[in-house]
Chain A
Amino acid sequence: MALKGLDIFKLTPKKNCKDCGCPTCMAFSMKVAQGALSIDKCPHMSPEALATLAAATEPPMKTISIGEHKLGGETVMLRHEKTFVNKNLFALDLCAGMDDAAIDAKLAEADKVDYERIGERMRVECVYVSVKPEHGAERGAAVVKKAAATGRDVILHCCDAALAGDILKAAAADVKVLAGANADNWEAMNALATEHNLVLGVCCKDLSAAHDTIEKLEAAGNKNLIINICAESIKDAFSFTVQIRRAALKDGDRTFGYPTIVNVARLAPEDYTMQAALASLFTVRYGSVIVLGRMTYAEALPLFGLRQNIFTDPQKPMKVEPGIYPLNGADENSVVAVTVDFALTYFIVSGEIERSGVPTNLIITDAGGYSVLTAWAAGKFSAGSIAKFFEENDIASKIKSRTLILPGKVAVLKGELENKLPDWKIVVGPNEAIQLVRFLKDYK
């Protein structure tokens, strides 16, 4: 359970040596209690004190690394309570029983989706490869290698320890997660995962059985786990995923303090619309790796957008890069509109301008990620800041048009802006983005 700063202080050397970077041992203890610093920043702790503290300050949900990505480490059930920490990953579902042409087609289809949205690269991060005894180790290893060749992290799903062992002999370097431990095979699977340094996935067909298996694995010293939700029904899959997270975060059950894998391709085979709906459900509610049967732009655009939204820190506004955004094929002669770098503002304004079809150069200034009125009130979106941005980015030579549309909410800036940008004709635009379509069409 969470320790208070004073409890931690009692275990420190109390020398105020500042080796940890804090002015006093007390300050250090308070930071550790808040979770801002880790206890090993103090080089003078006795091993006994460290062991006591490590157990007590252990987070309710472990952070597990898969390749470059981190999963889990969550502390709240709802994002507004603090923030969600590690975004979920998406994975593509493959089975060693599929023929090569089908596998190549699936991988090629997923490869087409690779784009950037507000500074984040959007592509399927993982491939989930299922291998059964009838497919054989050679085939399994070949599919694993094919999947890994796309530069994605491979999750190997195989419940037969001997088979998994043979596949890993040939392709251990291409696998990041070995999923398939259960009540019967956990010892052998644990040995494999430990030998090859892989995250071990524990099958959860039933909450109690999975709980038991995880307890045994933890007792055997493995805490590098992920829970693979193997429920047959959509209802059970959702119930297990929610209850596992709730047990870990609300009821202090550390045994369930691991991220989860949810395979929605198995829950709704071939029904890609249903898979998208389920992927959305598990993005909002506690799936850590979500496995889909395909990832085309149809699924990717809403799902990656949703994930980016849900996993933004509510305490920090989401910002877009300042600059000139030519919309609807705008060129240097097209009209110019200016607004702030708050991502929501950018999306709504650019969306409405795109709807109008009028070629427009949208200029995003650095306004600290605030909305128009907030930025104006904070002095981050003023005639001065706009003029400075125009000067620093040499807008006048990049764009020939001399018409600048100002957001209606900051109409008061018009006069001052006319003084600072004397060559420009300043036009006050509408108050709300939704009125932009008519405004631009009429203006044209």
Chain B
Amino acid sequence: MPFVSKPRKFNASINETVLGVGDKAVTLGGLNTLPLHFFDAPAKNPPAVGIEITDVDADLSAFPELAAFYEGAKTPAERAKKAAAAEGAQFVCLRFEGADPGGLNRSAAECAAIAKEVAEAIDLPLVISGCKNVEKDAEIFAACAEATSGKNVLFLSAREENYKTVGASTALAYGQKVGAESAVDINLAKQLNVVMTQLGIAPGSIVMNVGSAAAGYGFEYVASTLDRVKAAALEQNDNMLQMPIMTPVSAETWGVKESIMPEQDMPEWGSQEERAVAMETVTASACLASGSDAVILRHPKSVKTIAAMIAALL
């Protein structure tokens, strides 16, 4: 009995959401097959890879390749330019680490000025992510949304605690895109999409972040949440879970022991930079396999590798 291939396509598909403007605009989503199953049907828009920079000039001495990549770039706008030129990068994510009230506590006005400079320095789409403090994020997102008006920027993210202010000040007031962040729970993810659309935000303006973890750190919850969200979106045509998913991988992986332990403290583990790259590459690949429509990475080598892997699967 010969083997007959049975392509598995769905009648439902993931929403398409455009980030950025002009030739370099990126469309997320649009798939009607399981993640990366491009052999079932050609990919309308392959998953996108973004590169992360921060507003603060971090000490990169532990990462020689990364330091060389950003050499001479002192300001966020200069770093953004270099990041945008990284092979495989389709968008740039500016993370406002410096806005953290427990850290530099940069004001919303300062953040807005940086966001504007960065948005003007690059032609790739821009994603702005906050400092994980719900009140502060709402403040800086509002200021940055105004400063980058017309650039079709995505803000990561609105959460249960601040979705009203964030949603209103980004998507509703300036037509920007907004992320809906929940913590590895399909019901919370859906609930947040429901309340955000009830607020008047178009489903096409919402991108989900259903939570993330580094490989080995409870990643089974991330994988199963992604699996379940995609199953609900495609098999059950649940339109409150059909928003494309963007996973900020680097924000998790660069904080775990495997990435932060210096080589001199753990000589048998070898190069810290190689470990950090492998940790984010492995995590990103697993996220894409389970259902992320976009991932954010920090190291140009990881960006290049993951973009090449996606291209090889097309």
Residues of A within 8 A of B (CB): 78-80, 112, 117, 207-208, 210-212, 215, 233-235, 238-239, 242-243, 246-247, 251, 253, 255-256, 271, 273-274, 276-281, 283-285, 296-299, 301-306, 308-310, 312, 314, 343-344, 347-348, 351, 354-355, 434, 438
Contact = CB atoms under 8 A, between A and B. Distances in A.
Contacts of B290: 284
A207 B147 CA distance: 55
B314 interface: yes
Residue picked from B216, B290, B302, most chain A C-beta under 10 Å: B216
B132 interface: yes
Contacts of A308: 216
B8 A274 contact: no
Interface stretch (B33-41, B115-123, B150-158, B165-173): B33-41
A280 B314 contact: no
B22 interface: no
Contacts of B39: 235, 238-239, 242-243
A366 B228 CA distance: 31
A305 B309 CA distance: 21
B285 A234 contact: no
B260 A355 contact: yes
A274 B260 contact: no
Given A302-B278, A355-B255, A280 B215 contact: yes
Residue picked from B39, B214, B268, B312, most chain A C-beta under 10 Å: B312
Interface in B125-157: 132
B264 to A, nearest CB: 14
Contact of A277 (B271, B275, B281): B281
Given A238-B313, A274-B305, A438-B102, A280 B279 contact: no
A187 to B, nearest CB: 20
Nearest to A117: B216
Interface stretch (B11-19, B189-197, B217-225): B217-225
A242 B255 CA distance: 33
B223 A309 contact: yes
Interface in B254-309: 255-258, 260, 268-271, 274-275, 277-279, 281-286, 288-290, 301-302, 305-306, 308-309
A351 B258 CA distance: 10
Contact of A314 (B224, B256, B306): B224
A303 B282 contact: yes
Contact of B268 (A80, A239, A297, A348): A297
Residue picked from A247, A274, A301, A308, most chain B C-beta under 10 Å: A301
Contacts of B269: 297-298, 301
Interface string B241-252: 000000000000
Interface string B84-111: 0000000000000000001000000000
B312 A207 contact: no
6 contacts: A280-B282, A280-B283, A296-B270, A297-B268, A302-B279, A355-B255
Nearest to A303: B282
Given A234-B309, A235-B39, A351 B285 contact: no
Contacts of B219: 305-306, 309-310
Contact of B215 (A210, A256, A302): A302
Contacts of A312: 220
B38 A306 contact: no
Contacts, number: 173
Contacts of A243: 5, 39
B2 interface: yes
B160 interface: no
A284 B257 contact: no
Nearest to A442: B102
A305 B216 contact: yes
B8 A246 contact: yes
Contacts of A283: 286
A117 B268 CA distance: 16
B257 A354 contact: yes
B274 A298 contact: yes
Contacts of A347: 216-218
Contact of A281 (B217, B224, B255, B309): B309
A134 B285 CA distance: 37
Nearest to B219: A309
B266 to A, nearest CB: 8
B1 interface: yes
Given A247-B3, A434-B132, 12 more contacts: A207-B3, A234-B313, A280-B285, A284-B223, A284-B290, A297-B275, A301-B275, A301-B279, A305-B217, A305-B258, A344-B218, A351-B256
Given A273-B278, A302-B258, A211 B216 contact: no
Residue picked from B36, B282, B288, B290, most chain A C-beta under 10 Å: B282
Contact of B224 (A78, A212, A273, A297): A78
B312 A284 contact: no
Contact of B220 (A251, A303, A309): A309
B207 to A, nearest CB: 22
A256 B3 contact: yes
A80 B294 CA distance: 23
B3 A273 contact: no
A231 to B, nearest CB: 11
A344 B278 contact: no
B227 interface: yes
A235 B314 contact: yes
B117 to A, nearest CB: 29
A281 B231 CA distance: 18
A280 B224 contact: no
A368 to B, nearest CB: 17
A211 B1 CA distance: 8
Q: Which 3 pairs between the two chains have the least Cβ-Cβ distance?
A: A305-B216, A239-B39, A302-B282
